[in-house]
Every structure is written in structure tokens, then in C-alpha cells.
Amino acid sequence: MALAGMRELLEKSLAESKDVTPSDKMFLHDGELYTTMICCPETLKILDTFEARSDDVILVGYPKTGTNWVGQILVELEAASGKYDEEERKKRCTGQNEKELLLFPYLEFGDPAKFERMKKLPSRRVVKTHLAPQKLPKSIYQKKAKILVLFRNPKDTAVSYLHFANGMKLFPTQKSWDEFFSDFISGKVPYGLYLNHIIEWNKYLDDKNVMFMTYEEIKENPALEMKRMAEFFDFSVSKQEIQSIVEKTTFKAMKDQAAETNEGIGNILFRKGIVGDWKNVFSEAQNEEMDRKFEEIVARTKLGKMIKYDVYCKG
Ligand code: A3P
């Protein structure tokens, strides 16, 4: 779902955060931590009532792997492929339909009645979530909806997560990098241990309805990766349309667009948008700890190799 909805939700959460007592900021559901700032237990409890459609465009990514960016790319590809008139195109690309239905930008965010309201969204719906594969609503698999799974190197993901969490006041108190690193590496953050998500998705390598992509690959060659997305989701788009989407979804274009409505939230959502920022933040000991943990849990899996840890997280 498009970005406008995301900004509004974050603005609302931020405004309300001063009324939330620190101990009420997190809750556990099904063994995983969530933040009350954007999720509510009732919604998570009835997640399985979400009715997927076979033509849904599902985007899954752990927080801070670039899901707002890739979500917007998918919304634009869907709109270009749908050959809608200008008014409908705009509605879809700015999230107007979602806004009218008071929908929240990620499947698990917001109130439980949203799944009912989502039925009114016209196809093809672009549905984003941060959930791990074993927690996705069953109908997504039953309907064989196609799923794009996004990864980002864990070191940049961690740095991005800290800035977002502090900016959004997600935790009871503001965290230093050292404190956050230790939570991140032990999975004591909303959505749990990132490396576990990679391990779980590794079980879906042979599923033809699942495609994996990395933030770094898209940064390196956005046109090529958008072409892959279009082929996977059966979007019919021309080379020129892809080029135009590449230009509309650069980091600068998206940040400028966000600044037009709300600079504060824009600065939280669009921070640096680069690869390798971790080098400015990780200590030697933290580097070693992350390298060791990656080696232990993920490195030998196929997906572990696919995310090119040695290229993006070493040196
Ligand atoms: P940084 O904090 O490293 O800058 P998510 O959308 O999943 O929350 O991920 C947020 C990360 O994606 C942030 O990373 C953000 O800056 C980056 N991002 C957002 N839009 C982007 C774009 N158009 N191009 C590249 N990175 C982008």
C-alpha cells in the first residue's frame, strides 16, 4: 500500500506516543514482540481471517529492509500495468483507496476490522507485511498469491532500525546504539531475530510463488530488478514505463515527495538510503559478533549466500 497511508499512521502514532506509558509500548504475541505504536493484539489474533486473492501482490520484508520503497515500486508497476485512466492511476499510486477505507500500510498494523474493509479494495491489491513466513495468513499460500520477499544486509538493517525506533519512540526509552545492537542480535525487537526470518524463508526456495530480492540488488540496478518484479507478478509494462518508475522512486524523489506533506516523518522514513552505513556505527567487537552469528545461523544456507554477506557486511 502506498506511502501516504504510512506517513499518516506514523504521524498519528507519534502524536499519541506521549500518552503511552513506557511499559505499554511492547507486547508479546505468539512468541514474538510487537509494538503497540502500530500493532494491536486483537488484529494479530485474527490475522488468519484475512482473505487473500490469487492476484494479490504480496511484499514481505523485515522492518527497515526497504519495504516502503519496494512497496511504492510495486504500486507504480501495478498502476502502469493496469492501464488505468489518470485519475485511477493517481488514486492507486497515492494510496487514496486505502485512505478512504482507513487501511493501514502493513497487513498486521491497525484495527482488527481492517480485514473486512480490505475486501472492498479493488484488485490488484499490493499488500505489505513484516511478518515471518510461518506467521503469514494461510490464505496467501492457499490462493497461491505471489510473494516478493525482500532482504537487506543485516548490518545496515540494524542501523536503520535503531534510527527508526528512536525516531518513532517505539521503545520505552531512547536506546543507544550499543543497547540496540544487543537487543537486535538477540531478537529482542519487534518481529524478532532477523536472521531467523532468513532461515525460515530458506524453506521456500523451491516455491515458484515466492521470489527473493535484496535491497542492494535493487540499488545497484533498479531497472533490471523492476523488470524481474514485473515478470514475476505478470505486470505488463514497457521499458519506458519502467524507466519512469525508476526515476519516480529514487531515494531523493521519494524523500522530496514525503517532505511536501510532512518533513518530520519523511526524515524518519527516508534517512540515508545507502549501502554500507553500518561501517560508521559498528564497533570491531560488534562486527565480530554479527559475523559469528551470521556464520552460525545463516551462512551455509542458499539464501544466506544469496544475500552476499561477504560483499556487503565485511571489510
Ligand atoms: P536507512 O535508514 O538506511 O536510510 P523500510 O521502508 O522497510 O522501513 O526501510 C527503510 C530504509 O529504506 C531506510 O534506510 C530508508 O532510507 C530506505 N529507503 C527508503 N526509500 C528508499 C529509496 N527510494 N531508495 C533507497 N532506499 C530507500
DSSP string, 50-110: ----TT-EEEEE-TTSSHHHHHHHHHHHHHHHHT--HHHHHHHHTTHHHHHTT--SBTTBS
- Kindly state the cell numbers that stand for 73: 515500486
Q: How confident is the model at residue 4 (pLDDT cuts 50, 70, 90)?
A: low
Distance, in Å, from the CA atom of 314 to the CA atom of 307, rounded to the nearest integer, reads 13
220: CA distance to ligand 1 center in Å? 14
Mutate which of 7, 59, 60, 64 for ligand 1 pocket (most atoms within 8 A of beta carbon): 64
pLDDT in tens, 216-237: 999 999 999 999 999 999 999 9
pLDDT in tens, 31-43: 899 988 889 999 9
Amino acid 243 reads Q
Residue closest by Cα to atom 10 of ligand 1: 64
Which residues lie with the beta carbon below 6 Å from any ligand 1 atom? 61, 63-69, 156, 160, 163, 249-251, 254, 270-273, 277
Q: What is the pLDDT of residue 5?
A: 61
| 3-312: in CATH 3.40.109.10 | no
Domain boundaries, the chain: 3-312
Query: Residue 197 catalytic?
Result: no
Question: CB burial class (10 A; 0-12, 13-18, 19+) of residue 236?
Answer: exposed
Q: Which region among 29-33, 201-205, 263-267 has the lowest average model confidence (pLDDT)?
A: 263-267
Contacts of 170 (CB under 8 A, 6+ apart): 25, 35, 37, 164, 190
pLDDT in tens, 15-28: 666 665 556 788 89
Mutate which of 106, 269, 277, 278 for ligand 1 pocket (most atoms within 8 A of beta carbon): 269
Least Cα distance to 66 among 118, 3, 144 occurs for 3
Contacts of 225 (CB under 8 A, 6+ apart): 213, 217, 218
273: CA distance to ligand 1 center in Å? 5
Residue indicated by cell numbers 506467521: 135
pLDDT in tens, 152-184: 999 999 999 999 999 988 888 899 999 999 999
Distance, in Å, from the CA atom of 203 to the CA atom of 252, rounded to the nearest integer, reads 36
Q: What is the pLDDT of residue 171?
A: 85
Q: How confident is the model at residue 14 (pLDDT cuts 50, 70, 90)?
A: low
67: CA distance to ligand 1 center in Å? 8
> Which atom of ligand 1 approaches the CA of 65 most closely?
7
Please state, for a pLDDT cut of 90, what percent of the chain lies above it: 79
183: CA distance to ligand 1 center in Å? 21
Does the reported pTM lie above 0.75? yes
Q: How far apart are the first and last CA of the chain?
A: 36
Distance, in Å, from the CA atom of 99 to the CA atom of 168, rounded to the nearest integer, reads 21
Q: What is the mean pLDDT of the chain?
A: 92
Backbone angles phi, psi at 113, to 5 degrees: -75, -5
> Which atom of ligand 1 approaches the CA of 252 most closely?
23
Res. 126: pLDDT tops 50? yes
